[in-house]
Amino acid sequence: MEKSAVDHITTQETVSINDLESLIRGYIVGCRCEGKSAKTIDSYQMVLRNFLWLCRQKGYPLEPQRINASHIREFLWYLASETNRWGNKSTAARKPASKTTVHDYFRILRTYFGWLEREGLIKDNPFKYLKRPKTDKKIVQALTSSEIKRLLKACLAKTALDTRNRAIICILLDCGLRISELASLTIDDVSVNSGILLIRHGKGGKQRTVRMGSQAQKALWRYLSIYRKGDSNKLFLTRSGEPLDVVGIKMMVKRLGNKANIKVHPHKLRHTFAISFLRAGGDAFSLQYLLGHSTLQMTQRYLQSLNADDAINAHRKFSPLDNMKM
């Protein structure tokens, strides 16, 4: 999702049922009351304030009941085609938005207008007349076995930071955690002997348990028993004993990738876990749970990527021309 320089919508004024800006404020208050995450609310605010900005720029109605499907289509087209959006000079706003970003805007706007309809604030929901924008179905890229070995070798030295980094890489590769889930882990969430991790802060506030294999258990045990120093209850700490946050983990993974001469980021390690799990014979439903997905949609993308890899390998063996005696 792209960033915008427009100020956040505040909640200091009384909500009016006829004013778009006021109703957006009311919607954001409702999202906070429902316990939606700060990241989700930030995304909602960004999309809705940008929609409000364009409504004002284009002279669209500022009463939600007068906004129709054509206004939404024009907004989505502006997003997909304009190279100077929101009067913003940021890099992201200087090129047309990706299909994924357009889809995200559509989804958030549809959720907002669905709320207006449920609250009885509009009678005719414009999204009844709109089709969901198509997104590119890209093949998920995972690390190869050789790249995994090089990445682990890059943090093989017997120092405190290398031992911590190796434990982090092992857990990301063996458990498929989101980076935010890893950063949120505490000592109390870990059972090294059983290899069980309790994920308390999964996406959507859902908890789950995942298992570490023996190699990841060994790496974590070594970090905890020998090198971990600090009073914080967080599992992974910085050199100074402070909790290691998401930004710190991203930087660490990038540095290790540069050292191993491979392109890698934390989410690619999650992709690698998923593809490797399926290739080893794991089933899609178990993978869905382990990844913390609410539906099989993303899991099916991993299946498609696995099928693509297997098809390439099969072609090496069964290439029609290579098997002809010419």
pLDDT tens-digit map of 148-177: 999 999 998 788 999 999 999 999 999 999
Asked if 302 is an active-site residue, the reply is yes
Asked if 178 is an active-site residue, the reply is yes
Return the closest-CA partner of residue 178 out of 283, 274, 36: 274
Range 119-143 average pLDDT: 88
Q: Which of 85, 268, 270, 271 is catalytic?
A: 270
Return the closest-CA partner of residue 231 out of 221, 242, 246: 242
Strand partners, 234: 186
- The Cα–Cα gap between 124 and 40 comes to 26
Asked if 267 is an active-site residue, the reply is yes
Q: Which of 178, 228, 268, 271 is catalytic?
A: 178
What's the confidence (pLDDT) of residue 37? 82
* Domain positions in the chain: 20-129, 145-317
Asked if 118 is an active-site residue, the reply is no
Query: Rounded to two decimals, what is the model's pTM?
Result: 0.75
Residue 291 identity: L
The helix (run of H) or strand (run of E) holding residue 272 is: helix 266-279
Pick one of 3.50.70, 3.40.50, 2.60.40, 1.10.150 as the CATH number of 20-129. Answer: 1.10.150
Asked if 317 is an active-site residue, the reply is no
Range 64-92 average pLDDT: 87
Q: Higher model confidence: residue 245 or residue 9?
A: 245
Q: Which of 150, 166, 234, 293 is catalytic?
A: 293
Query: Are 192 and 228 a contacting pair, CB within 8 Å?
Result: no
Q: Which of 203, 211, 222, 301 is catalytic?
A: 203
Strand partners, 210: 197
Return the closest-CA partner of residue 137 out of 300, 314, 315, 311: 300
DSSP 123: S
Average pLDDT, the chain: 87
CATH architecture, range 145-317? Orthogonal Bundle (1.10)
Please say if the pLDDT value at position 212 is more than 90.
yes
What's the confidence (pLDDT) of residue 88? 72
Domain 20-129 matches domain 145-317 at the CATH topology level: no
Which of 93-97, 182-186, 289-293 has the highest mean predicted lDDT (pLDDT)? 182-186
